[in-house]
Structure 1
Amino acid sequence: MSEATPTSPEASPAPTPAPSAPRRRRPLLVALPLLVFGGLAGLFLTQLLSGHDPAQIPSALIGQAAPATALPPLAGLRSPDGQPVPGLGGERDGVPRLVNVFASWCAPCREEHPMLLALARDPAVQASGLRIEGLNYKDKPDQALGFLSALGNPYARVGTDERGTAAIDWGVYGVPETFLVGADGRILWKQTGPLSERAIREGLLPALAGAR
Structure 2
Amino acid sequence: MSRLIPFFAFLALCGLFGFGIWWNSHHDQTAIPSPLINKPAPEFALPELYDPAKMVTKKDLLGKPYLLNVFASWCVECAVEHPLLEAEGPTLGVELVGYNYKDQPDDAKAWLARHGNPYQVLMADVSGQTAIDFGVYAAPETFLVDAKGVIRYKRIGPFTPEVIEKELKPAIAALAKESR
TM-score with structure 2 setting the length:
0.84
Deviations 1:101-149 (A, max 9, x none): 1100000000000111113332xx3xx3x11111111111110000001
Q: Give yes or no for the alignment of 1:88 onto 2:52.
A: no
Partner of 1:59: 34
Partner of 1:42: 22
Which of the numbers 82, 88, 99 marks the counterpart of 1:113? 82
Native 8 Å contact 1:63 1:188 kept in 2 = yes
**How many angstroms does 1:197 deviate by?**
0.7
Work out the CA distance in 2 between the residues paired with 1:105 and 1:32: 44
Partner of 2:44: 69
**How many angstroms does 1:34 deviate by?**
3.6
Partner of 1:134: 98
**How many angstroms does 1:87 deviate by?**
5.0
* Residue aligned with 1:163, SS: coil
**How many angstroms does 1:165 deviate by?**
0.8
Partner of 2:118: 154
Give the gaps of 5 or more residues in structure 1.
1-23, 48-52, 78-83
Partner of 1:3: none
* Residue aligned with 1:132, SS: strand
> Greater share of helix residues, 1 or 2?
2
Deviations 1:136-165 (A, max 9, x none): 111111100000011111111111111111
**How many angstroms does 1:69 deviate by?**
1.9
**How many angstroms does 1:189 deviate by?**
0.9
Partner of 1:172: 136
Identity value in percent: 41
Native 8 Å contact 1:74 1:87 kept in 2 = no
**How many angstroms does 1:200 deviate by?**
0.8
Native 8 Å contact 1:101 1:136 kept in 2 = yes
The runs of at least 4 aligned residues of structure 1 exceeding 4 Å deviation read 28-33
Work out the CA distance in 1 between the residues paired with 2:56 and 2:32: 25
Partner of 1:11: none
Letter paired with 2:67: L
The structure-2 alpha-carbon separation of the partners of 1:110 and 1:60, relative to structure 1 and needing over 3 Å to count, comes to same
Native 8 Å contact 2:58 2:149 kept in 1 = no
Work out the CA distance in 2 between the residues paired with 1:32 and 1:172: 37
Higher radius of gyration, 1 or 2? 1
